Amino acid sequence: MNVLQSLKSLSAYPTPSATLQDIAEGCGLQYDAELTPEMRNSKEMKRAKARAYAYLITAPNISQNGVSFSFTAEERKQFKKLAVDLLKEIGDDTSSIGTKYGYVGENF
């Protein structure tokens, strides 16, 4: 198994390969590198998994080839928990996971 396959295996959701490649490379991993036991437990791999889960928190509900993919609010909370737990384990900042920005109301 390589890094890209490992990240794809986190969910059946059809996350684009380019997104997972970008996540892996952004975490200092080669997406086509063989996943060794040492790499599986590395900070970089845990950071990549957390970012893949963070992507799923805001992933849109879709239908593809007659199959629908949607997450409940509870499933999205679980993805956030998994991401936060992985980042805490390696000592990374967790404040941006699942953060939504925007304005609600009439007056600034």
* Averaged pLDDT, 64-85: 92
On whether residue 53 sits in a domain, the answer given is: yes
CA distance 63 to 105: 32
Percent pLDDT > 70 in the chain is: 90
Query: Is 85 contained in some domain?
Result: yes
Structural domain includes residue 60: yes
* Lookup: tokens for 19: 């997104």
Asked if residue 95 is part of any domain, the answer here is no
CA atoms of 58 and 38, how far apart (whole Å): 30
With respect to residue 64, please indicate whether it lies within any of the assigned structural domains.
yes
Domain of residue 83 covers: 3-90
Instruction: Please name which of 50, 47, 62, 83 lies closest in space to residue 15, comparing C-alpha atoms.
Output: 62
Assigned domain for 62 exists? yes
Q: What is the pLDDT of residue 65?
A: 82
Residue 17: phi, psi to the nearest 5? -60, -35
pLDDT one-digit tens code per residue, 9-53 = 999 999 999 999 999 999 999 999 999 999 999 999 999 999 999
Q: What are the tens digits of pLDDT across the range 42-64?
A: 999 999 999 999 999 999 999 87
Question: How is residue 93 written in tokens?
Answer: 């900042």
Q: Average pLDDT for residues 69-75, to the nearest whole number?
A: 93
Q: Is 66 domain-assigned?
A: yes
How many domains does the chain fold into?
Answer: 1
Task: Assign 108 a pLDDT band (cuts: 50, 70, 90).
Answer: very low
> In 10 A of CB 12, how many CB atoms?
9
Query: Residue 100 falls within a domain, yes or no?
Result: no
Tell me the average pLDDT across 74-81. 95
SS3 of 19, please? Answer: helix
